[in-house]
Amino acid sequence: MLDIPAAHYWVILAFALYLIGVMVFSFFSHRVMSKGSFVNSYFLGNRGLGGWVLALTVAATAVSGGTFMGFPSLIYTNGWVMALWICSYMVVPLTAMALMGKRINQVARISGAVTMPDVFRDRFQSPTLGILATLLILLFLTFNLVAQFKAGGLVLREAIRLNPPPAEVLEISVSPERQLVVKFSSNGNETTQRTAMPTKTAQFIGHEVDPDARAVRVKFVDDGREMTKLVRFPAELLTIPGFGWKVEKGYLIGLLLFAFTVIAYTTYGGFWAVTMTDVFEGLVMLGGVLLMAILAINAVPTAPSGATGLAAANEWLIAQDPALVYGPGFNGFLPLGMAFSFYLMWSMSSAGQPSGMVRLMAFKDTGSLRRALVLVAFYYMIVYSAIIIIFICARAIFPTEYLREMGSEGEPDAIMPAMALKVAPSPFLAGLLLAAPYAAIMSTVAAFLLMISSSLVRDLYQRSLNPNASQKSMKILSYSVTALVGVVVMLGAMNPPSFLQYIIVFTGSGQSCAFLMPMLFLLFWKRTTKAGALAGMLLGVGSVLGLYALGWIDNRTQDQPDLWVRSLLGWLPGWGEIRSDKFAPLTPLGLDPLFWGMIGSLLGTVLVSKITRSDPAQTARYFPE
């Protein structure tokens, strides 16, 4: 029997209604899909996306779990400077959609391309390029999907919110690494929980057990200010048969529910299910953040001056730390130079994502692209502005409860679900608000699942192994592969790596550096050659992989100064720097691997194309006089 708080049954009911809506869209999408060619319909929607559908499917795919889980945590920790950190997302429609949208759609129609690797393969008549693009997509998206599945499981865990079993607090201390260590005894077993201190200089002064909440309230003082952090009793763990992994019961239930729903509707409905549910989920996200922003502003306590709403939130933040309101932010989080780097990174990284490119291959006419471009720009502006306002208010409502040191390991902050449950006037409405981050995660996962399936079925099987495959065999294989990939990723999410935030950044950078420059040049420069595109792809992804590998080696060997590898590589710019995570990359001259990958990809594509010859017949086909 599941021990669920009574109020959370209403939260679960709201989630159930949302999921029923998703499955209804999948059912009707399956019926639409049966009207055209299976491969074109399942993976590309018969190139029939109008302006509104294109806008919402592009937006919903880009707005992932990080937008509603990781980004709110950064706002809560660093304050208003995060608006500068994310502001280039407003110009992503210009860099991604306006830059290549019309041309990639034209090229895809000329060649009959259904997937992004198809474009590379058909433009140069090169199976090698198509297979390489497919393998890179499989590499990066599989890692990303594990992170997204974990986020989906966490959101559902918060919706269900199983009560932990009763426990006794044995000891509370602070470790030499400045972690709060709480030892519990539960069901005859001793358990140790480690969590970050609320601030770097906080001092532990006592604790208070709350048996009704099944938690302990740990008290701190920092510079005369008292702070409280809630540490829940240890959750019940289940052992996964055959693997031996111990997984939190609530998270496992949430992960299984998430996996079942997203795998089912993606497998059954294909591209039309993903795009139509993207429309639904995009509207859920928009409505959810707007409603939550209004509720959050109203929930801010009245300031000592009598100010209310957002003005009161600013006053409370200034009282906590003026750096939360003024740049460069808390602990100098975002200097001006780094803000400029992030402005370039977001806009360029988004333009190079295959999941966005395949949607640009699916719109029906130029008018649809123009309408979608404007709509996506406004959508991003509204959603990200609302999220910033919500979690500025969250810092005023929860001054210290969810703080942690930047870069600390452990579970992601729960500020998003905490705010939904805090500001909603009823548990049912809280469930509807929690549907917003869930929708963001589902839309991204569905798009990535379909891309991996199309890469395996279309690019590797049909184009490389069995060109004469029948429609029936393609249908069976597509359904099977989509479901199988989802199950494999779900297993990975049961025991995910602890540095998921860095993996998401790594996968986004890797895809952009592999695909953006070769794609732009093959679309717009007739002198681009097969060898040039191949060189650009390899140099771009090689630069990113190399810098991440060097960062990992540096991080793992810093406590062994006499090791030969440290002497060999000590000349590298950025070598020996202290990093916040063992997976953090090397950043020569303080510049992100994305910058070096883009430079390498650009030079490789242009220089190798200059010294090799293009195929005149292919050039004439895609660049008619």
Alpha-carbon gap, residue 492 to 505, rounded angstroms: 18
Query: Which of 450, 476, 494 is at the close of a domain?
Result: 494
How many residues are present in the chain?
625
**The pLDDT value given to residue 581:** 59
pLDDT at site 299: 92
In a domain, 503, yes or no: no
* Interatomic CA distance for residues 209 and 213, integer angstroms: 9
On whether residue 31 sits in a domain, the answer given is yes
pLDDT of 403 reads 62
pLDDT band, residue 604 (cuts 50/70/90):
very high
By the 8 A CB rule, do 596 and 589 touch?
Answer: no
Residue 246 falls inside a structural domain: no
User: Do both 317 and 338 map to the same domain?
Assistant: yes
- Count of beta carbons in the 10 Å neighbourhood of residue 207: 18
513 in a domain, yes or no? no
CA angle 222, 223, 225 (to 5 degrees): 65
**In angstroms, rounded to a whole number, what is the distance separating the alpha carbons of residues 259 and 151?**
11
pLDDT tens for each residue of 524-541: 999 999 999 999 999 999
Instruction: Tell me, yes or no, whether 21 and 116 share the same domain.
Output: yes
Q: Are residues 315 and 451 in the same domain?
A: yes
Mean local confidence (pLDDT), 606-615: 92
Above 80 in pLDDT, residue 578?
Answer: no
**Stretch 543-568: mean pLDDT:** 78
Considering only residues 531 and 274, tell me which one the structure prediction assigns the higher pLDDT.
531
282 has pLDDT over 70:
yes
Structure tokens at 611: 């010294």
Pairing of strands 237-239, 225-232: unpaired
The residue-averaged pLDDT of 46-70 equals 67
Give 482-509 pLDDT, tens digit per residue: 788 888 888 888 876 655 556 777 888 8
pLDDT beyond 50 at 43: no
Q: Are residues 147 and 205 in the same domain?
A: no
- Could you give the percent of the chain with pLDDT greater than 90? 14
pLDDT tens track for 352-372: 888 778 878 877 777 878 888
Q: Pull the structure tokens for residue 417.
A: 């679900």
Report how far apart, in Å, the C-alpha atoms of 586 and of each of 186, 241, 389, 572 are.
43, 39, 34, 9
Which contacts qualify for 479-484: CB closer than 8 Å, 24 or more apart? 479/267, 479/268, 481/453, 481/456, 481/457, 482/263, 482/266, 482/267, 482/449, 482/450, 482/453, 483/263, 483/267
Q: For position 408, what pLDDT does the model report?
A: 32
The reply to whether 604 and 489 lie within a common domain is no
Q: Which positions ≥6 away from 567 have C-beta within 8 Å? A: none
Cβ of 100: how many Cβ atoms within 10 Å?
A: 21
Specify the amino acid at residue 148.
Q
CA 533 to chain centre: 28
Q: Is 517 inside any structural domain? A: no
* Whole-number Å distance between alpha carbons of 614 and 528: 7
Q: Which of 234, 259, 284 is the last residue of a domain?
A: 234
Query: Which one has a higher pLDDT value, 623 or 500?
Result: 623
Same-domain status, 124 and 173:
no
455 in the same domain as 314: yes
User: Is the pLDDT at 564 greater than 80, yes or no?
Assistant: no
Domain contains 12: yes
Q: Tell me the H-state helices in 495-615.
A: 500-524, 530-557, 564-569, 593-611
Residues 330 and 460 in one domain: yes
Question: Rounded distance, CA 153 to CA 156, Å?
Answer: 5
Model confidence band, residue 39 (pLDDT cutoffs 50, 70, 90): very low
- What is the rounded CA–CA span in Å between residue 517 and residue 609? 12
Give tens-digit pLDDT for 444-467: 787 778 777 777 777 777 777 787
CATH code of 266's domain: 1.20.1730.10
Query: Are 137 and 216 in the same domain?
Result: no
Q: Which two tokens stand for residue 418?
A: 């905490």
Residue 521 or residue 100, greater confidence: 521
Residue 244 lies in a domain: no
Whether pLDDT at 317 is above 50: yes
In a domain, 509, yes or no: no
The verdict on 229 and 359 lying in the same domain is no
Specify whether 486 is located in the same domain as 594. Answer: no
- Residues contacting residue 338 through CB under 8 Å, at least 6 positions apart: none
416 shares its domain with 311: yes
- Write the DSSP assignment of 369-382 as a string of letters: HHHHHHHHHHHHHH
The number of folded domains in the chain is 3
Show the domain range for 102: 8-161+251-494
